[in-house]
Amino acid sequence: MPRLDLATHDLRRMALGGETLDYVLVRRRGRRGVGFKVNADGLTVSAPLSMPLSRIEALARESERWILRKIAEWRTRRVPPMEWRDGAALPYLGRTILLAIGEARRNNVELGDGALHASVREASPEAVERAVVAWYKHAALAHLAGRAFTLARVAGLTPPRILLSSALSRWGSCNSRREVRLAWRLVKARPDFIDYVICHELAHLRHMNHSSAFWAEVGRQCPDYVRLRDELFATEHLYRSF
């Protein structure tokens, strides 16, 4: 039996706040209300399958101030694309390291003297990016797994299995199999941000939800989590340039 598609996705355009705004309209069977989400990709509007377009856009205009404010916030958070050139600045554990590119018969990337030395067979931007990202993933697994082991022991927990993810929209996740996935890009962030994210996921080993008991556990493991969470949210775009 063919699978029934319960949602449709359409790229549309409407006038909002004196400007023409592109947005993605997601119509979903069984949905009751209209929801708005703004992220790095722009505005997404979720609505019931049968609701008239005129009604959906009228509700968007009612939320015009919120939508435009969120879009403006995301525009200020955009980071220029990474330029894979000699001397480029790279974030690592909250500090800046410089990229030093050289040529060699075999690819090799090493950190030393405040620089990331990338020796590649072909010094093209694409080859340098592949080599550097591979180094970041290796460094991320070692550092994040080490911190997770230490913080789990401090919290009185059996250390979970640590896996890496390439997610851009979330820093970590935890499942009932006691597996914690952490975004490799997190290794670019400050050590206290890293510890907060790990404590957040470790707290899920005791509470697989976001209840008050869960947040109490996060606070027990990371007393300054509110400040760290807010600071990370305000600066996390800086760690997603590649």
Domain ranges of the chain: 7-76, 89-239
pLDDT on residue 32: 87
Strand partners, 180: 162, 174
pLDDT on residue 110: 95
Reference 174, options 149, 145, 207; nearest CA is 207
Sequential pLDDT tens for the chain (242 residues): 444 446 678 888 999 888 888 898 999 888 889 999 988 778 999 999 999 999 999 999 999 999 998 888 877 777 778 899 999 999 999 999 999 999 888 889 999 988 999 999 887 899 999 999 999 999 999 999 999 999 999 999 999 999 999 987 789 999 989 999 999 999 999 999 999 999 999 999 999 988 999 999 999 999 999 999 989 888 888 888 88
pLDDT on residue 3: 44
Architecture of 89-239 per CATH?
Answer: 2-Layer Sandwich (3.30)
Our CA dihedral for 185, 188, 192, 193, rounded to 10 degrees, sits at -40
Contact predicate 103/123, CB 8 Å: yes
pLDDT on residue 4: 45
Contact predicate 205/221, CB 8 Å: no
pLDDT on residue 114: 85
pLDDT on residue 167: 84
Neighbour tally for 68: CB within 10 Å: 17
Give pTM, 2 decimals.
0.73
pLDDT on residue 9: 80
Contact predicate 140/197, CB 8 Å: no
